[in-house]
Amino acid sequence: MDRAIAQRAAEASVSGVQQMRLVKTYPLRPGLPAFTQVWQATDADECVIAAKGAPEAIMRLCHMDAQEQKSIAASVDELAREGMRVLAVARGRCARDSIPQSATDLSLEFAGLIALADPLRESVPEAVRECRAAGIRVVMITGDYPETARAIARAAGIPHTSVLTGTDLDALGDAELARIVRETTVFARIRPNQKLRIVEALKANGEVVAMTGDGVNDAPALKAAHIGIAMGGRGTDVAREAASIVLLDDDFTAIVRAIRQGRRIYDNLRKAFAYIVAIHIPTAGLALLPILLGQPLLLTPMLIAFLELIIDPACSVVLEAEHSEADVMRRPPRPARQPLISRALTIWSVLQGTLALLGVGAVYVIALWARMPAEEARALAFVALIGANLALILASRTFGGSMLASLTRPNASLVWGFAMVATALAIVLGWPTARGFFGLGPLHLDDLLVCLSVALGLLWLLGVVKRFCGVRVAA
């Protein structure tokens, strides 16, 4: 703001203070948000006084009567309703040897108002709407004039019925403040200690609080919030040190993007868990089934190692690279104490694995019933297990989407992963030396069609289950 004022003054050819020296400063203080300086020319005994600050503070320093204050306040309201940030300025003179100790004892003349436009970025209203759709309540805390705060909130799309000022806040006890902050979304003329009280009141209500700021006066609230977010571009060092996160781009939309990214990562962790639990059920079941049936070992160490070459990349690369769910920013925030792995997700994982075990186990039992050689039965069951594995990966890509969505959602890692599995499997089955190394027998086209049917049938069945209880799966 100071740079903007100095630039405009230079454009208007207003003389500066290059030939003057600073004699005394009256800084901002609680109850009097005004900054006053006393300057002296090198060849004069008389000093020049310049003051700027909140209009009500400057009017107080000028000792204006009620009628004058009412007239100026009307002008301030008119500018503030346009979203302007309004400062008042005053001037005066005094002798060098009679400078008062308090700014309130100065003899000042009201000089006028300065209105500064600090328009919202075009992306902010949409970001606020996205936050509201995601169940995130956006609260504006500012030191600006109430009408300015109201205009900015209106432009940003922050719903509000009233504006709570710092003076109003001081009259409230902690319990009453905790009640009021449940509904209030715009706070104006707020001092640093009051920002801290608001954050503490929100926390007392059980809210998870993310606080943004860039100034020294924001540091206590940034430190107290669950997530302090400092602006890296124009933020002060104190604010950056107090914050948990520093934004490289001073843009509110960056916070919304971070929320979306965090929800995507959270979902993908749950998807990886669901898949890894599900795939180990048929793997363990097929390791035990031959023993129960008195048959030779089905899954040899080499075949298990082959499976792990599919399972590990699926968890750490393929599912991690999944895009956000369509409704990722239309869900309410999860409770802070909700575990990563819910009961519904565990049941879903076990159900997937059980269905896969039943399908592959049925193929193996039928192969034994048909008196297939042990190596061919092993190959048939193993390829069916690979197909079930790929079906589980596809089913884990989304919690509530259709199977068509699972097949069509873009994911380059998935395409490369499936291509590598198909190539490796073709080499193992088609090259007799490799087939013998893994202890597998030859498979015919009808055998491969059986394995494909198991995979597609499992994928269809999981799609039917998700269609009716996909919301509960994601809970």
Domain extent listing, the chain: 2-116, 124-254, 261-474
Write the pLDDT tens digit of every residue in 23-58: 899 988 877 889 999 988 767 778 889 999 999 999
Least-confidence region, from 173-177, 261-265, 468-472: 468-472
Q: Helices 146-156 & 124-133, crossing angle to 10 degrees? A: 70
pLDDT bucket at 375, cuts 50 / 70 / 90: confident
Taking 90 as the threshold, does the pLDDT of residue 90 lie above it?
yes
298-315: b (≥16 Cβ within 10 Å) or e? bbbeebeebbeebbebbb
| Cβ–Cβ under 8 Å, residues 80 and 145 | yes
User: What integer best gives the mean pLDDT of the chain?
Assistant: 87
Element (H, E) at 432: helix 432-437
Checking 407-410 for CB contacts under 8 A at 24+ apart, the result is 409/322, 409/323, 410/323
CATH architecture, domain defined by 261-474: Up-down Bundle (1.20)
* CATH 3.30.70.360 corresponds to the domain 124-254: no
CATH of 2-116, one of 3.40.50.10190, 3.40.1110.10, 1.10.10.10, 2.40.50.100: 3.40.1110.10
Write the pLDDT tens digit of every residue in 174-223: 999 999 999 999 999 888 889 999 999 999 998 999 999 888 888 999 99
Q: Helices 301-313 & 412-430, crossing angle to 10 degrees? A: 160
Place of tokens 């715009």: 186
Would you call 14 helix, strand, or coil by DSSP? coil
Taking 60 as the threshold, does the pLDDT of residue 472 lie above it?
no
In the prediction, which pLDDT does 18 show?
63
Strand order in the sheet with 108-116: 20-26, 34-41, 46-53, 85-95, 108-116
Write the pLDDT tens digit of every residue in 385-441: 999 988 998 888 888 766 777 777 888 888 888 888 888 888 888 888 888 888 888
